Amino acid sequence: MPKPVTIADVQVILTQPGKSRQAIVKVTTSEPGLYGLGCATFTQRIFAVAAAIERHLKPFLLGRDVDRIEEIWNMSMVHGYWRNGPVLNNAISGVDQALWDIKGKRAGMPVYDLLGGKSRGAAHVYVHADGDSKEEVADNVRAYMEAGFRYVRIQLGGYGGKGSPMSKPKNAPPGAYFDPRDYARRTLEMIEHVRGQVGDQIELLHDIHERLAPIQAVQFAKDVEPFKLFFLEDALAPEDIAWFRMIRAQSATPLAMGELFNNPHEWQLLIQERLIDFIRMHISQMGGITPARNVAIFADMYGVRTAWHGPSDTSPVGHAANLQLDLWHPNFGIQEWYRPSELDYAIFPGLPVVEDGYLYPNDKPGLGIDIDEELAAKYPPADIIEDWTQTRLPDGSPARP
């Protein structure tokens, strides 16, 4: 038996080349020059994830056999006894993705080949069009269409909208205010307008971002049905998922859900009862490639497709991991895509590229992505207190962002 390759070090690299703070895990091995990268980005609590990795996971993992991904994932999950929380899931994901990267490099294969091989050569993506007016949103959609995109998410004034007339109490604290009913009314008008302007040859999506009360979400899914969305995202908060039965019974609007999910209980019921059409976890938030692979296979048995979470608060390493999954699983639906900056591409060589609405891999072994650590260090994460998640209803009470 050859001597196993073992984990020699687990480093956390924190960087912020754009608006989101990112956590990358680098696992180095007993074999000189062999290392893997993984995404552990929980941007709002990035320093807690770093501490979980450095103080808890790293001492537990040093010296372990890098080939035993399943064992390491399961033991990491139960070793803290309390589990399925966002900080620890992200920490475990950083290591898990890095181990898949290492296994691919050792095998000389991209991760999609380790998973079973390609079902497709590239992944369809959707991009975000926002605007302060319905006319501006329509213009932005047209610009995307001209650039070759065929799937566009449309929002009016950001999540929950903005600029609604509202009368707040005179002692209302500062915050990101929105009015759910006004948001729903104006968004329906916007979607009708955009569909009328751009026709049927483009797929439109919308993200409610859990901004409506459950019964308002039921109404919205019915009202938006004539405009034939590709999907309606996060119609409900994870705490309200039992309401999906009501939406399903009353509308044929395709539903996507899952970016906030941490715990298998949250996705099991929705898939088994066929209450949604697209499952879309944040891969690092659920614990990495290992659990995502399991969910993709599980969802396939129930006709549910994937749409993994992929905005700018997924790191480039996380986007590379998303793409490996997208290329492999037969039940791929769509991939959310941000538009990386030149700096993102400079810090992360191998970050996938979009051409004509498709995301392409570079077919290198492992995840196919690397990091320029010196350049990343020039953009350290800022000490900020997030504003956009300090969400309030018109009377000042806290709301889900």
Catalytic residues: 159, 209
Nearer to Mg ion, 207 or 266 (CB): 207
Nearer to Mg ion, 281 or 354 (CB): 281
**Single-letter code of the amino acid located at 64:** R
Closest residue to Mg ion: CB criterion = 207
- The size of the interface with Mg ion (CB under 5 A), counted in residues, is 1
What minimum distance in Å lies between the beta carbon of 220 and Mg ion? 15
Write each residue from 183 to 212 as x if it is in contact with Mg ion (CB under 5 A), else as -, in one continuous string: ------------------------x-----
User: Do the beta carbons of residue 371 and residue 24 sit within 8 Å?
Assistant: yes
What minimum distance in Å lies between the beta carbon of 129 and Mg ion? 14
The three state secondary structure string of 200-246 is CCCEEEEECCCCCCHHHHHHHHHHCHHHCCCEEECCCCHHHHHHHHH
What minimum distance in Å lies between the beta carbon of 303 and Mg ion? 22
In the numeric block, the tokens 């109404």 are attached to 219
User: Do the beta carbons of residue 10 and residue 25 sit within 8 Å?
Assistant: yes
Nearer to Mg ion, 36 or 310 (CB): 310
Nearer to Mg ion, 256 or 347 (CB): 256
The three state secondary structure string of 233-260 is ECCCCHHHHHHHHHHHHHCCCCEEECCC
**Single-letter code of the amino acid located at 157:** G
Nearer to Mg ion, 21 or 309 (CB): 309
What minimum distance in Å lies between the beta carbon of 258 and Mg ion? 9
326 binds Mg ion, rule: CB under 5 A: no
Torsion angle (degrees, nearest 10) of CA 46, 50, 52, 57: 140
Angle (CA) 165-232-285 rounded to 5° is 100
Helix, coil or strand: residue 66 = coil
What minimum distance in Å lies between the beta carbon of 234 and Mg ion? 5
Q: Which of residues 113-152 bind Mg ion (CB under 5 A)?
A: none
**Single-letter code of the amino acid located at 185:** R
Binding-site ranges for Mg ion (CB under 5 A)? 207
